[in-house]
């Protein structure tokens, strides 16, 4: 067998999300088809992958369609995995799997399901939350849809695909691969993602002279629907009595006031002048990602 894959390290004790009954493909204008070069599965009795079709769209979603020879796959008991080298560097990630950084997987069986897993840097894949991952099984095809941003993908990615009998390919004697030679195939992103931000929640502290004043924004992104927790530009401006206050600090910090539970927010903070009691405060915080910006302006009188 050309390589070793590890399902067992990720399956035990992890609740994965259920497989969706229907998923609309991302619908790029020019899907790319990767055809299997072998006429039969790599081992007898395995699900026989005939081709993989990949596309992406301007919403930043990637659709991966695995096509099988009719009657060779069983969703209820087989496992299907897409091993993604998101940084396109086979010397990083899981080097035994051609540099895999992320694994998108459907695992059959009573403890199986759909999940996204990230290489832990040493020995196994770790379940990671995904707000965009969906899957479906239709006829002799398995579909996965996921946001490129959740995988750190920008211009393209390398990948390989495995299908095996049973939920754990590391113990299965019946398995099929694309590519068959243990290397990766490559997909180049075709659509420029048009990500927009939405201001979903915000908060600020009561301003007091000589103390720290802070503002916070929670912004959600259109491609995943998830709140931003990193990777965006935070801009902070503050005027007290018409004069600009410098020295702002900013970053993503966990906050407890978010109505959906503990979340990371984009936070700006300043130290207010000790002589500013009674002055009018005007603060503006902005968060920018991929050319989209959301802002919030706060005004108040500073207390003693």
197, 292 Cβ separation under 8 angstroms: yes
Q: Following DSSP, what letter does each residue of 40-67 receive, concatenated?
A: S-SSTTS--EEEEEEEE-TTSEEEEEEE
So what's the pLDDT on residue 18? Answer: 47
**pLDDT (tens digit per residue) in 84-130:** 999 999 889 998 888 999 999 998 876 678 999 999 988 888 999 88
Q: Which residues contact 27 (CB under 8 A, 6 or more apart)?
A: 55, 57, 63
pLDDT along the chain (304 residues), means of 10: 40 42 56 88 83 91 94 86 93 88 86 87 88 89 92 90 79 82 89 86 93 94 82 93 93 78 86 95 93 94 94
Q: Rounded to whole angstroms, how far apart are CA atoms 268 and 252?
A: 9
Report the candidate in 150, 265, 283 with the shortest Cα–Cα distance to residue 206.
283
- Mean pLDDT estimate for the chain: 84
CA distances from 229 to 78, 150, 172, 232 (A): 35, 12, 38, 8
So what's the pLDDT on residue 10? Answer: 41
Q: Rounded to whole angstroms, how far apart are CA atoms 213 and 201?
A: 18
**pLDDT (tens digit per residue) in 36-52:** 988 777 777 888 999 99
DSSP letter (8 states) at residue 211: S
DSSP letter (8 states) at residue 11: H
So what's the pLDDT on residue 111? Answer: 67
Q: Rounded to whole angstroms, how far apart are CA atoms 3 and 198?
A: 44
So what's the pLDDT on residue 8? Answer: 39
């Amino acid at each position: 067998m050309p390589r070793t894959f590890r399902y067992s390290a990720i399956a035990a004790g992890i609740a994965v999300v259920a497989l969706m009954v229907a998923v609309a493909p991302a619908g790029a204008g020019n899907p790319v088809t990767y055809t299997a070069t072998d006429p039969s599965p790599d081992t007898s009795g395995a699900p026989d992958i005939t081709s993989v079709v990949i596309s992406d769209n301007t919403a930043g979603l990637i659709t991966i369609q695995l096509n099988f020879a009719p009657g060779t796959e069983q969703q209820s008991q087989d496992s299907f995995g897409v091993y993604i080298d998101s940084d396109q560097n086979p010397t990083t990630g899981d080097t035994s799997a051609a540099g895999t950084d992320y694994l998108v997987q459907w695992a059959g069986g009573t403890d199986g399901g759909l999940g996204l897993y990230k290489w832990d840097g040493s020995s196994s894949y770790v379940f990671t939350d995904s707000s965009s991952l969906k899957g479906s099984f239709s006829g002799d095809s398995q579909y996965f849809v996921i946001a490129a941003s959740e995988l750190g993908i920008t211009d393209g990615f390398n990948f390989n695909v495995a299908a095996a009998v049973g939920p754990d390919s590391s113990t299965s004697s019946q398995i099929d691969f694309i590519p068959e030679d243990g290397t990766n195939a490559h997909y180049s992103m075709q659509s420029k993602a048009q990500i927009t931000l939405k201001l979903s929640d915000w908060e600020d502290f009561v301003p007091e002279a000589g103390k720290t004043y802070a503002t916070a924004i929670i912004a959600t992104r259109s491609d995943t629907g998830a709140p931003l927790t990193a990777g965006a530009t935070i801009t902070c401006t503050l005027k007290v009595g018409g004069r600009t206050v410098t020295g702002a600090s900013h970053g993503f910090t966990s906050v407890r006031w978010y109505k959906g539970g503990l979340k990371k927010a984009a936070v700006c903070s300043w130290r207010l002048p000790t002589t500013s009691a009674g002055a009018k405060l005007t603060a503006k915080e902005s968060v920018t990602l991929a050319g989209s910006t959301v802002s919030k302006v706060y005004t108040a009188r500073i207390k003693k």
